[in-house]
């Protein structure tokens, strides 16, 4: 589980996250939406310490996230992350991309790391691409490799930051299907996305952020059909 209490973050004088309180329980699937610049990516990045926060507490599975490097390693090993741009290593094959961290960070024997990688490449339905390079794959395939690569580290929580927003429409579905499958297997997920169909189908809670604050959160049915705040109503009227 993730617990965030009274968290505030500034970029210089700019107050980017304001009094964030959020608990993500095991097995929950939470979708975060909100206008551009509302702080969604910053929040996600604070959770695995890609960004520092200045006030408040973030705890991941009981481990307090502090500037202590040891805790950061532990948290990052439990939290997988998948971005808009897949950040695959272009000079490594798909298989090598998936085995790099398990071999060098987890000290997993190469053969075992390769077996695990093939298992997850099968899961995202591209085992036949294992020996190609990222540049030889479509965007949707590359994003599925990025998801498989994260899963190879056996995370207990997956964070997604607009994983489909750089993809052509016909590739969005294949990535969403992968995420839906993960959700159905019980993975704890926190997803920034504007794919509201995905939110309705998969999320147990939808969070709306605006100007660095959590403005509203609710189960999807209620969130979409009966948004409480005017800001949420305005946002939904623009994207639905």
Binding site for ligand ATP (CB under 6 A): 11, 14, 16, 34, 36-42
Residue 42 interacts with Mg ion (CB under 5 A): yes or no: no
Rg (CA), the chain: 18
Instruction: Quote the least distance from Cβ 12 to ligand ATP, whole Å.
Output: 7
For 102-134, b/e burial (b = at least 16 CB within 10 A) is: bbeeeebeeeebbebbbebbebbebbebbeebb
CB contact at 8 A, 144 and 126: yes
Examine residue 41 and tell whether it contacts Mg ion (CB under 5 A).
yes
- Partner in contact with 89, chosen from Mg ion, ligand ATP, none, beta carbon below 5 to 8 Å by kind: none
> Could you say which of Mg ion, ligand ATP, none residue 11 binds, taking C-beta under 5 to 8 angstroms by partner kind?
ligand ATP
Q: Nearer Cβ to ligand ATP, position 98 or 206?
A: 206
Rounded to the nearest 10°, the torsion over CA 189, 166, 18, 226 is -70
- The H or E element that residue 10 is part of is strand 2-11
User: Residue 16 CB, nearest distance to Mg ion (Å)?
Assistant: 12
> Which of Mg ion, ligand ATP, none has residue 143 at its interface (CB below 5 to 8 Å by kind)?
none
For Mg ion, give the closer residue by CB, 41 or 48: 41
């Amino acid at each position: 589980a993730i617990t965030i209490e009274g968290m505030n973050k500034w970029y210089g004088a700019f107050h980017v996250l304001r009094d964030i309180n959020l608990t993500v329980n095991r097995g929950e699937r939470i979708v975060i939406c909100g206008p551009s610049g509302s702080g969604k990516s910053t929040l996600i990045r604070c959770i695995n310490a890609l960004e520092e926060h200045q006030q408040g507490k973030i705890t991941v599975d009981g481990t307090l996230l502090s500037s202590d490097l040891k805790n950061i390693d532990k948290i990052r090993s439990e939290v997988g992350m998948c971005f808009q741009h897949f950040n695959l290593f272009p000079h490594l094959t798909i298989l090598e991309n998936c085995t790099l961290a398990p071999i060098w960070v987890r000290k997993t024997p190469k053969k075992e790391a390769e077996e695990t990688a093939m298992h997850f490449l099968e899961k995202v339905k591209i085992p036949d691409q294992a020996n190609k390079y990222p540049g030889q794959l479509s965007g949707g395939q590359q994003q599925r490799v990025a998801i498989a690569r994260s899963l190879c580290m056996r995370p207990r929580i997956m964070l997604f930051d607009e994983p489909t927003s750089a993809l052509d429409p016909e590739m969005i579905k294949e990535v969403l299907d992968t995420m839906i499958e993960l959700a159905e297997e019980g993975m704890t997920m926190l997803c920034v996305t504007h794919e509201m169909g995905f939110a309705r189908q998969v999320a147990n809670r939808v969070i709306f952020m605006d100007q660095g604050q959590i403005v509203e959160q609710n189960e999807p049915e209620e969130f979409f059909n009966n948004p409480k705040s005017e800001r949420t109503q305005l946002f939904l009227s623009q994207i639905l």
